[in-house]
A and B are shown apart, each in its own frame.
Chain A
Amino acid sequence: MRISSTVLGTGVAAFIVVAVALLMIFGLWNDEQSKVPAKFTTGQFAGLNNPSDIRGSYTFEDIEHYFSVPAETIAQAFALDTSQKGANEYKAKDLEELYKDIDNGEVGTDSIKWFVSLYDQVPYEPEATTLLPESAIRILADLGSIDETTATVLTARSIAINQTYATSATQEHDVASEEMIIKGNTTYSDLLIWGLDAETIESIVGYPITDRTIKLRDDFSQKGLEFSVYKNVLQEALNIL
């Protein structure tokens, strides 16, 4: 039996297309990550989801779902601006782009794995070059997930958030930066970009700025301050620049 090239070519192409179509029809074709992480198989953590299996495509919402770490907490830990993009929409791999200018290490998906493992108090060995933002260490310490000794060790592999906020904040707040008007989604980063120095801001609000990417409204609300009152004072300070 012989086969011509026409029959071979069209036959193979048709076979592949039809096979894939049938797989799609029967719901067997899955070309996206199932996002179900692997679990620890041995030891005291057996059965728990393993942070080492967090992939770059995981959104913070996925991480919240599988590892019980709130998306907002992750965004806060990594000093991400949530005024334009919700915390649950960020992906682990987004950090690589946002923190691309770091010279002495890397903040990326591996940092997320590390943070989640510390948060959940399960083992994970990060890469030697992986760093955590100071804000992440502070959150872990506040939650009691790490003791002081661990916090000190982690600090040696940390990066100050003010090294990165400018990159992400200026990208996300172009419109706000032009207007120089404080709105509900204005962050401390916006004020700093507009030229208001940190000391002036802190003297007005009465406490040190710990997270420059948090919205003023949210921060004031957490601190029990009236947004409209402090907004006006800060706006006046801006107006005389």
Chain B
Amino acid sequence: MKHRNRRKQNIRRIIQIGFFTLVLLITLSHSYSEVAEFLPVIEGASLHAVCPFGGVVSLYRYVTTGTFVQKIHDSSFYLMLIVFVTAIIAGPVFCGWICPFGTFQEWIGMIGRTLFKKRYNRFIPSKIDRYLRFIRYILLIWIVVSTALSATLVFSSYDPYYALFNLWTSEVAISAYIILAVVIIASLFVERPFCKYACPYGALLGLTNYFRIFKIHRKAATCIDCGKCDVSCPMNITISTTETVKHPQCITCMLCTSEYACPVKETVYLGTAGKETTSEGTNE
């Protein structure tokens, strides 16, 4: 069983590495023509061009003037729609499987997990954590409104994701570097700190957890209350007391399911509501 789980974990890691590498190559090719020569398909694209959140912040301008916010392109808009379709089907699966910045935080988190063992990702008291998680909604509103009013990418000066993939350029604001450093340090103590507390796109995608077609379900009849699903969740969601995970911070990473953490077969799974999950509990 352990061998099978490790193999499945590898699939997620391979996909994460694949998209991280793709975005890295895109940004490198944008800066260095030598890289672009090897990858003509992605030549010329910037990081903004392949960020679906760019489509979100550009929506207002697109509707009112028919143009995009500076540095945003058709590609951002289409990616926004593509990711939104995946979110309606299975929630913020983009966050858990695709987002290169989430992947980067997980990699830093591996160091933290090694250093702090079971204490890792358990440093922030739940009372404080609960309120901190509202920050990302405030940021989402601020960014969308500010971008609509100014028609510029106001968040790029603070965006650690942009800073990470533009370390070698002179286009990054010092504030973004500082925030990136804070995220890296925080990732040693908390799993995916930016996703939990600051990611505006995650805040938006997380709302789809309320109505997505495929949800994480826990079959109470076979659950042995071992709590392994709770421990495994990178977003610190309590799964063991609910039957259907609707928490807006679930990133559909599947680590809590019977394929990984849950020791009982077909007890925690991603699926549509079946006979086993008639109760619509939530853990909020």
Report B241-256 CB contacts with A as 1/0, cut-off 8 Å.
Answer: 0000000000010100
How many residue pairs, one in A and one in B, have C-beta atoms under 8 Å apart? 101
B44, B50, B75, B93: the one within 8 Å of A12 (CB): B93
Q: Which residue of A lies closest to B90 (CB)?
A: A8
The SS class assigned to the B binding surface is helix
A residues less than 8 Å from B155 (CB atoms) = none
* B86 touching A15, Cβ below 8 Å: yes
The residue that A9 contacts in the complex, of B41, B79, B97, with Cβ under 8 A, is B97
Q: Which residues 9-32 in A have Cβ within 8 Å of B in the complex? A: 9-10, 12-13, 15-16, 19-20, 23-24, 28-32
- Cβ of A173 under 8 Å from chain B: no
Complex contact B12–A5 (CB within 8 A): yes
Q: A33 vs B214: C-alpha distance in the bound complex, in angstroms?
A: 37
Q: How far is the CA of A2 from the CA of B257 in the complex (A)?
A: 11
Please name the residue on chain A nearest to B259 by beta carbon.
A5
Given contacts A1-B272, A2-B271, A31-B50, A10 and B44 within 8 Å (CB-CB): no
Residues of A within 8 A of B97 (CB): 8-9, 12-13
The answer on a CB contact under 8 Å between A33 and B270 is: no
Selected from A4, A32, A97, the residue in CB contact (under 8 A) with B44 is A32
Question: B270 contacts which chain A residues (CB < 8 A)?
Answer: 2-5, 8
Q: Which residues of B contact A55 (CB under 8 A)?
A: 70-71
- Whether, in the assembled complex, A6 has its beta carbon less than 8 Å from a beta carbon of chain B, the answer is yes
User: In this assembly, does B74 line the interface, its C-beta being within 8 Å of a C-beta of chain A?
Assistant: yes
- Least CB distance from B238 to A in Å reads 21
Asked if A3 and B271 make an inter-chain contact with CB atoms under 8 angstroms apart, the answer reads yes
What's the least CB distance linking A6 to chain B, in Å?
A: 5
When C-beta atoms are compared, the residue in chain B nearest to A54 turns out to be B70
Residues of chain A within 8 A (CB-CB) of B134 are none
Contact A31 B12 (CB under 8 A): no
The yes or no answer to B281 lying at the interface (CB within 8 A) is: no
| CB atoms of B44 and A6 under 8 A apart | no
Could you list which residues of chain B lie within 8 angstroms of chain A, going by C-beta atoms? 8, 11-12, 15, 18-19, 41-42, 44-46, 49-50, 65, 67, 70-71, 73-75, 78-79, 82-83, 85-86, 90, 93-94, 97-98, 170, 214, 252, 254, 257, 259-260, 266, 269-272, 274
What are 22 A-B pairs with beta-carbon distances under 8 A?
Answer: A1-B214, A1-B271, A2-B270, A2-B271, A3-B90, A3-B214, A3-B271, A4-B270, A9-B11, A9-B12, A10-B11, A12-B86, A12-B98, A20-B75, A29-B74, A31-B42, A31-B73, A31-B75, A33-B71, A33-B73, A55-B71, A57-B71
